[in-house]
């Protein structure tokens, strides 16, 4: 089982690729392009810096995708896959945030 950091990076890359492919399929390609760029940039930011802000930004992006998934004009299997990946990404982002908070709390107690 991969750790939460690796899983969050993979989920972010998955959505970046998903949104990049959506550019050619949806009626508003600019929205998909913006979200593809946001997912790619936040994932790269988190991968390079292990930033808590990047993890929080990814959590917000995943939550937005999960909220929008039921309203997609697509097949049911696509909506379910989108919602499931968004739910998993949100869970991974929360796991990273909680682990960081616990690590910080442990460090202050030990000092």
What is d(CA 27, CA 83) in angstroms, rounded to the nearest whole number? 20
- Residue 1 pLDDT exceeds 50: no
Q: Which residue in the block uniquely carries the two structure tokens 């995943």?
A: 62
Q: Which residue in the block uniquely carries the two structure tokens 């949806």?
A: 26
Q: pTM for the whole thing?
A: 0.90
49-108 pLDDT, tens digit per residue, is 999 999 999 999 999 999 999 998 889 999 999 999 999 999 999 999 999 888 877 767
């Amino acid at each position: 089982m991969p750790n939460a950091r690796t899983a969050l990076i993979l989920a972010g890359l998955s959505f970046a690729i998903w949104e990049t492919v959506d550019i050619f399929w949806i009626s508003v390609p600019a929205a998909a392009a913006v979200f593809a760029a946001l997912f790619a940039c936040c994932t790269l930011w988190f991968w390079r810096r292990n930033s808590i802000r990047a993890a929080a930004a990814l959590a917000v992006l995943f939550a937005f995708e999960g909220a929008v998934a039921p309203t997609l004009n697509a097949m049911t299997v696509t909506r379910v896959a989108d919602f499931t990946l968004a739910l998993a990404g949100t869970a991974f982002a929360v796991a990273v945030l909680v682990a960081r908070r616990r690590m910080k709390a442990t460090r202050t107690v030990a000092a």
